[in-house]
Amino acid sequence: MIEVKNITYSYPNSDSKALNDLSVTIQDQQWIALVGHNGSGKSTIARVIDGLVEGYQGEVTVNGMPLNDDTVWDIRDQIGFVFQNPDNQFVGATVQDDVAFGLENRNVPRPEMVERVQQALEVVGMSEFATREPSSLSGGQKQRVALAGAIALQPKILILDEATSMLDPQGRQEMLEILKQMKQRFELTIIMITHDLSETAMADRVLLMNHGQLVADAQPEKLFARTQVIKDNGLELPYSEQLKEQLAVAGIDLPREYMNEDRMVEWLWDKLN
Amino acid sequence: MGQIELNNVDYKYQPDTPFEATALQAINFTVETGSYTALIGHTGSGKSTLIQLIDGLIKPTSGEVTVVDHHSTATSNSKDLDQLRKNVGIVFQFPESQLFEETVLKDIAFGPKNFGKTDAEATAIAKKSMALVGLTEDFAEKSPFDLSGGQMRRVAIAGVLALEPEILILDEPTAGLDASGQAQIMNLFKQLNVEQGITIILVTHNMEDVAKYANQVYVLNHGAIVKSGTPREIFANQQWLMENYLTVPVTTRVAQKLIDKGYSFDEFPLTVAELSQKLIPKLKGEQ
Amino acid sequence: MFTKVIFGRYVPIDSVIHRLDPRSKLVLSLYFIVLVFFANNWQSYAFLAATTLATILLTKVQLKFFWEGIRPLIFIIILTVLLQIVFSAGGTVYWHWGIFSITSMGLVNGVYVFMRFFLIICMSTVLTLTTPPLLIADAVESLMKPLLKIKVPVYEIALMLSIALRFIPTLMDETQKIMNAQRARGVNFSSGSLIKRVKSIVPILIPLFISAFNRAEDLATAMESRGYRGGDHRSKFRILKWRGADTIACVGMAAITAGLFLLRLL
Ligand SMILES: Nc1ncnc2c1ncn2[C@@H]1O[C@H](COP(=O)(O)OP(=O)(O)OP(=O)(O)O)[C@@H](O)[C@H]1O
Ligand SMILES: Nc1ncnc2c1ncn2[C@@H]1O[C@H](COP(=O)(O)OP(=O)(O)OP(=O)(O)O)[C@@H](O)[C@H]1O
Ligand SMILES: [Mg+2]
Ligand SMILES: [Mg+2]
């Protein structure tokens, strides 16, 4: 469980608040989607949870451990973090070296390390690339390697900061599939930051941020129905809501609640007959 | 003869070495003045290589590239290539990485000065470009490095627009921006295309944008052009797109689901607006 | 993503030489460079040239690459050789002008100097063409280990070295991108006066510096989030293995040394 209590934070060289009295509790094995426009504070709160930011007010507790200088390394042991730009998170000069980096840091004995590296690469489907140099991989492949590096540490929590934003649609789809499987298999808590509302559909909860504050915290379907909130916070409406909006203008009666794509098609088909 | 013409063009990276990589082969590509062309294809299919050829940043290994009335071939020298560049502006992926001047205005005026404009002329053009991308005057004297990501992107785009190009090439111009930022910038490009007749070539992975803005599409797969046509022609065959590692706009997917149920459209819809236009009379008629 | 510089760069193929332990390759190439200075007659140079050629053939890399590796240095070599020829005296005088002269001794010396350069470059090229940079870093770390005793931060140095090596292609790629972006904005790197050309570097250097700085910051964050705290409480994934072939290589080098010193006596 992650508990964030009344966090306020400003970057040292800035006078506006990147986080403003933010509180949120995340239960084990939840899939959280974190959304909000550019500069709303998504990356900052993710970094706070991983102990990568110093000098904030408030409290963070991860699995019962309060985050402070003594516990930060133990807490990081439980969190895997994948960043946006795959090129800037590679440490190793080959795929397997990179996946091993976190294990080396934790002084894992070599035989176990070799096994865990292999396993992690298998999970993300990159086994055959083990000895390749990262510069010879596509963006999607690099992100899968970064994911393997995080998963090799057997974390309880996985944080992804726009980890799919530099990928093509196929690469994104593959990442999401892998994440779904991994969540099942390793009973992970996932916090996924994204700009793409369609990626939030598989989450248990969507947290919507603006100006360093939480403006909505709801199940995806519930949030999608609140079209005004979505628009006011600079996000794009989900497809079926866009369509509903257009139909409503023409004076057609529409159900209030959110419909996903298939339900929308059903509804249209019923009406058309 | 189009404004841009590629004739049987091949391109190899590091030819005659063990690292040789064929990025493009037998490319035939035509873009008419004032058109809006989308270039789509999987990662590594050769999109960025193709636009670099058009801007004379690289020259073909064989074949000929023609832009307006300048040519580049395997034997062209750098003078010839410079000529190509005169009519073309490129917004690269993450263009904010090209910013370097002390102030926003100076950075935007940098391009026109290089192409021979006087300081006064360049400043005037820079101010105009700032207005175009929606940056107010008080940004002029700020350092480009003190701005937010979205603002930096605008400055970079203004720097390209200041070249007053006849042809504007965009390589995933909205990557990393939030929805409202993306919409604003894409609308700006459409406006330039419609109002000033600027030819646009858009490289993108976003099929919604292709459906919404383009009037011509080229599909690349492993360095070859495998299909070209209007968005409607391209998106008509979902199966084929999947085989080429591409997706369809959501509207097309929804329309296809309706067709599968037994509905029929006189013309395949590509955007929300088109779909609702087609459905509204029917939905109303039934009510 | 890809570098333009390919000559002297690792060629990923398989050969006896590729499979040697990087430590033996590093030490033996350095040793060979020293050895070259002991050659003193045409027989000993010919002998070393033959062993070098044999090694090159064993790498299975195209000869063209060795030539390309040497080419950038050829100007310096020729200059040195010419100086050697016109300034050394002794033996028959073929040509004479002021303090300059071409003598038989001078010619011979010139050829020797040329051979020395040539052999040294060939052997270092063998090292870099057959060993990934990362392994060279590993070898340096392993060989520097004794320095831990005098508190040299060997592990940190080695990690720094390998990260630097890993970022070279990324930064070269970045440079290419920035150059393209500025060329598209009308910067011309290849013509104009010297001052103009020097000035044209500014729009490259500033963005490159900013980008490198941002990348470094991102990388530091990523490393921290992956539990890196420095020091030696780390296990190692990559281990170097000394094999039979390495012992054979060392014995071979001993034989070459013996041969060379015999030929010196001629
Ligand atoms: N290193 C920094 N120094 C100063 N200010 C910063 C820094 N990083 C972020 N900020 C500011 O803090 C606020 C929150 O930024 P944050 O990066 O958390 O936003 P975000 O929601 O992740 O945005 P994006 O979608 O662009 O990634 C913004 O106003 C931003 O300008
Ligand atoms: N500098 C280079 N040296 C060698 N090969 C390269 C270089 N740049 C690109 N390539 C290769 O050329 C091919 C085409 O690359 P290109 O960058 O044009 O693809 P792209 O369609 O723009 O991909 P993306 O969608 O990822 O941007 C790829 O196989 C790539 O690996
Ligand atoms: Mg962020
Ligand atoms: Mg590209």
> A208 pLDDT band (50/70/90 cuts)?
very high
Q: What is the pLDDT of residue B83?
A: 84
DSSP C85-133: HHH---S-EEEEETTEEEEHHHHHHHHHHHHHHHHHHHHHHHHHHHS-H
**Mutation site, C183, C187, C210, interface B, largest B CB count within 10 A:** C183
Query: Which ligand 1 atom sits nearest the alpha carbon of residue A84?
Result: 27
C145-C221-A34 Cα angle (round to 5)? 150
Q: Which ligand is nearest to the CA of A18?
A: 1
Q: What is the pLDDT of residue B1?
A: 65
Q: What is the rounded average pLDDT of the residues C109-123?
A: 87
- Expressed in angstroms, the distance from the first to the final Cα of chain C is 54
Query: Residue A94: CA atoms inside 13 Å, Cβ hemisphere, count?
Result: 16
A109 inside 8 A of chain C by CB: yes
Instruction: Say whether pLDDT at C1 is over 50.
Output: no
Tell me the C-alpha distance between C235 and A90, whole Å.
Answer: 18
Residue type at position B112: P
On chain B, the residues whose CB falls within 8 A of the CB of C211 are 97
Mean pLDDT (chain B) is 92
Q: What is the pLDDT of residue B268?
A: 87
pLDDT in tens, B50-73: 999 999 999 999 999 999 989 999
Interval between CA B48 and ligand 4 midpoint (Å): 4
Please choose, from the candidates A273, C167, C18, C265, the residue with its C-alpha nearest in 3D space to the C-alpha of residue B282: A273
Q: What is the pLDDT of residue A31?
A: 96
* Nearest beta carbon to residue A234 from set B178, B245, B253: B178
Look at A24 and C99; give whichever has higher pLDDT: A24
C227 inside 8 A of chain A by CB: yes
Q: Is the CB of B149 under 6 A from ligand 1?
A: yes
On chain B, the residues whose CB falls within 8 A of the CB of C186 are 85, 111, 113-115, 163
Give, for B31, the enclosing helix (H) or strand (E): strand B21-31
Burial label for C162, CB within 10 Å (0-12, 13-18, 19+), is: buried
> Which residue is closest in CA terms to ligand 1's atom 3?
A11
Query: Which ligand 2 atom sits nearest the alpha carbon of residue B52?
Result: 18
B97 with C178: CB under 8 angstroms?
yes
> Which residue is closest in CA terms to ligand 2's atom 17?
B48
> B166 pLDDT band (50/70/90 cuts)?
very high
Q: What is the pLDDT of residue C2?
A: 37
Q: What is the rounded average pLDDT of the residues B130-143?
A: 92
Q: What percent of chain C has pLDDT over 70?
A: 95
Look at A215 and B179; give whichever has higher pLDDT: A215
Number of alpha helices (DSSP H) and beta strands (DSSP E) in chain C: 11, 2
Query: Which ligand 2 atom sits nearest the alpha carbon of residue A138?
Result: 26
For chain A, state the CA radius of gyration. Answer: 20
HEC sequence for A145-212: HHHHHHHCCCCCEEEEECCCCCCCHHHHHHHHHHHHHHHHHHCCEEEEECCCHHHHCCCCEEEEEECC
Interval between CA A42 and ligand 3 midpoint (Å): 6
Tell me the C-alpha distance between A214 and A48, whole Å.
Answer: 15
ipTM above 0.95, yes or no: no
Look at C62 and A269; give whichever has higher pLDDT: A269
pLDDT in tens, A134-147: 878 888 899 999 99
C241 inside 8 A of chain A by CB: no
Cβ distance C207 to B98 less than 8 Å, yes or no, reads yes
Q: What percent of chain B has pLDDT over 70?
A: 99
C84 with C125: CB under 8 angstroms?
no
Minimal Cα–Cα distance from A136 to chain C, Å?
7
Task: Strand B88-91: give its sheet, edge to edge.
Answer: B88-91, B167-171, B199-203, B36-41, B216-221, B224-229
A191 with A32: CB under 8 angstroms?
yes
Phi, psi of B279 (to 5 degrees): -85, -35
pLDDT in tens, B263-276: 888 888 999 999 99
Tell me the C-alpha distance between B2 and A247, whole Å.
Answer: 40
**Residue C68, helix vs strand vs coil:** helix
Angle between the N-to-C axes of helices A95-105 and A110-123, in degrees from 0 to 180, rounded to the nearest 10:
130
**Mutation site, C226, C233, C241, interface A, largest A CB count within 10 A:** C226
Q: What is the rounded average pLDDT of the residues A219-237?
A: 91
Tell me the C-alpha distance between C209 and C219, whole Å.
Answer: 15
Name all residues whose Cβ lies below 6 A of ligand 2: A 168; B 13-14, 21, 23, 41, 43-49; C 1-2
B176 with B206: CB under 8 angstroms?
no
pLDDT in tens, C183-220: 999 888 777 777 877 888 899 999 999 999 999 999 99
B142-B147-B151 Cα angle (round to 5)? 105
Look at A186 and C62; give whichever has higher pLDDT: A186
pLDDT in tens, A16-30: 899 999 999 999 999
Looking at chain B, how many residues does it have?
287
Please choose, from the candidates C175, C177, C6, A87, the residue with its C-alpha nearest in 3D space to the C-alpha of residue B51: C177
> A14 pLDDT band (50/70/90 cuts)?
confident
Mean pLDDT (chain C) is 85
On chain A, the residues whose CB falls within 8 A of the CB of C229 are 73, 105
Chain A residue with minimum CA distance to C1: A135
On chain B, the residues whose CB falls within 8 A of the CB of A269 are 258, 261, 263
Which residues are CB-contacts of A141 (< 8 A; sequence separation ≥ 6)?
A126, A129
Q: What is the pLDDT of residue B141?
A: 93
The region of weakest confidence among A36-45, A116-125, B78-87, B221-230 is B78-87
* Nearest beta carbon to residue C177 from set B92, B100, B111: B92
Tell me the C-alpha distance between B95 and C53, whole Å.
Answer: 49
Cβ distance B85 to C184 less than 8 Å, yes or no, reads yes
B91 with B170: CB under 8 angstroms?
yes
C6 inside 8 A of chain A by CB: no
Q: What is the rounded average pLDDT of the residues B161-187?
A: 92
- As beta bridge partners, residue B29 has B6
pLDDT in tens, C118-134: 898 888 888 988 888 77
pLDDT in tens, C167-179: 887 888 889 999 9
Q: Which tokens hold the place of A168?
A: 């093509």
Q: Which tokens hold the place of B217?
A: 């599409």
Q: What is the rounded average pLDDT of the residues C16-40?
A: 92
Going along chain A from its start, the domains and CATH numbers come out as: 2-230 (3.40.50.300), 238-273 (no CATH)
> B92 pLDDT band (50/70/90 cuts)?
very high
Q: Which tokens hold the place of A18?
A: 């990147």
> Which residue is closest in CA terms to ligand 1's atom 31?
A39
- Interface size between B and C, measured as CB pairs under 8 A: 65
> C5 pLDDT band (50/70/90 cuts)?
very low
Cβ distance C237 to A117 less than 8 Å, yes or no, reads yes
Interval between CA A161 and ligand 3 midpoint (Å): 7
Q: Which chains touch A (3 or more CB pairs under 8 A)?
A: B, C
Q: What is the rounded average pLDDT of the residues B170-198?
A: 92
Look at B75 and C102; give whichever has higher pLDDT: B75
Tell me the C-alpha distance between A2 and A64, whole Å.
Answer: 8
A1 with A63: CB under 8 angstroms?
yes
Q: What is the rounded average pLDDT of the residues C139-146?
A: 88
Minimal Cα–Cα distance from C184 to chain A, Å?
23
A111 inside 8 A of chain B by CB: no
> Which of B11, B49, B206, B246 best tests ligand 2's pocket when mutated (most atoms within 8 Å of CB)?
B49
Q: What is the pLDDT of residue C8?
A: 61
Instruction: Say whether pLDDT at B159 is over 50.
Output: yes
> Which of B17, B24, B48, B169 best tests ligand 2's pocket when mutated (most atoms within 8 Å of CB)?
B48
A63 with A156: CB under 8 angstroms?
yes
Q: Which ligand is nearest to the CA of A83?
A: 3
Cβ distance B254 to A195 less than 8 Å, yes or no, reads no
Q: What is the pLDDT of residue B286?
A: 55
Interval between CA C208 and ligand 1 midpoint (Å): 22
Phi, psi of C100 (to 5 degrees): -90, 145
User: In this structure, is the dihedral angle defined by the CA atoms of residues C228, C233, C236 and C239, taken in order, positive or negative?
Assistant: positive
Tell me the C-alpha distance between C208 and A151, whole Å.
Answer: 33
